[in-house]
Amino acid sequence: MSKNLIKQGAEARVYTTPFLTRAAIAKERFRKTYRHPLLDKKLTDRRLVQEARCLVKCRNIGVDVPAVYFVDLENRTIYMEYIEGKTVNDLLADGAAITTEESDELAKKIGEALAKMHAAEMIHGDLTTSNLMIRDVNKSLAIIDFGLSFITSCSVEDKAVDLYVLEKTFLSTHPHAHHLFLTILKVYGESYNNAKSVLRKLDEGK
């Protein structure tokens, strides 16, 4: 099976690869040589399963994420859908002007998706504009890279941290589009019953 490396992070390598008849992403987690092999396998297996569970749960509640094809615990790899599209990071950074209407629609999609995810007690863990994509086929907003995700127990602080990470991305990478983040928060507040406590915690942390 041919694999083409497209990204290497601190925790995993990401490849494009065929899976049966479909184009796929293979995400392979590193072995941590400083850990005992049995402990390393246990922790890695837990992370792989947790990531897959969060992806499946997101799809079940209507949040667009890559479909999980196969979890290969022996080889520390998740095979999932390859999404054709453009990241929000690239969309905001390519120099093309984004109209007010387009900006509002994008903010609506992001705010509603985050509201659904948090209402289901899921934390992404790395909410940046590089992990938000607009699909080419139907312009749906897809959230990717759930490597740090977890399911919480109504933790307001964890949800506030998710939003804080996204805000920091806008401030550092897209300062010209910070109004977009403010609209995301507005939509999030309108779409999630417990948003007030999360937004209050976000403000407290600034």
CATH code assigned at 89: 1.10.510.10
Interatomic CA distance for residues 102 and 113, integer angstroms: 17
CATH code assigned at 30: 3.30.200.20
Q: What is the pLDDT of residues 70-106, one digit of tens each?
A: 999 999 999 999 999 999 999 998 656 678 888 899 9
104 given a catalytic annotation: no
22 and 107 part of one domain: no
Question: What pLDDT is recorded for position 97?
Answer: 63
- The size of the chain, in residues, is 206
Encode burial over 86-117: b for 16+ CB neighbours within 10 A, e otherwise.
ebbbebbeeeeeeeeeeeeebbbbbbbbbbbb
Mean pLDDT value across residues 114-119: 97
Reported confidence tier of residue 138, pLDDT bands at 50, 70, 90 = very high
Question: What pLDDT is recorded for position 99?
Answer: 80
Mean pLDDT value across residues 163-180: 94
pLDDT at 65 over 90: yes
75 and 89 part of one domain: no
Interatomic CA distance for residues 104 and 178, integer angstroms: 12
Name the pTM for this structure.
0.94
pLDDT at 1 over 70: no
Alpha carbons within 13 angstroms on the beta-carbon side of residue 172 total 8
Which of residues 47, 64, 81 is at a domain's end? 81
59 and 140 part of one domain: no
Mean pLDDT, the chain, whole residue set: 93
92 and 77 part of one domain: no
pLDDT at 206 over 70: no
Question: What pLDDT is recorded for position 161?
Answer: 96
76 and 90 part of one domain: no
Question: What pLDDT is recorded for position 114?
Answer: 98
Reported confidence tier of residue 32, pLDDT bands at 50, 70, 90 = confident
Q: Looking at 40, 94, 126, 145, which residue is catalytic? A: 126
42 and 116 part of one domain: no
109 and 184 part of one domain: yes
- The domain of 170 spans 85-204
Number of domains in the chain: 2
11 and 70 part of one domain: yes
Which of residues 81, 102, 121 is at a domain's end? 81
pLDDT at 154 over 90: no
Which of residues 65, 81, 97 is at a domain's end? 81
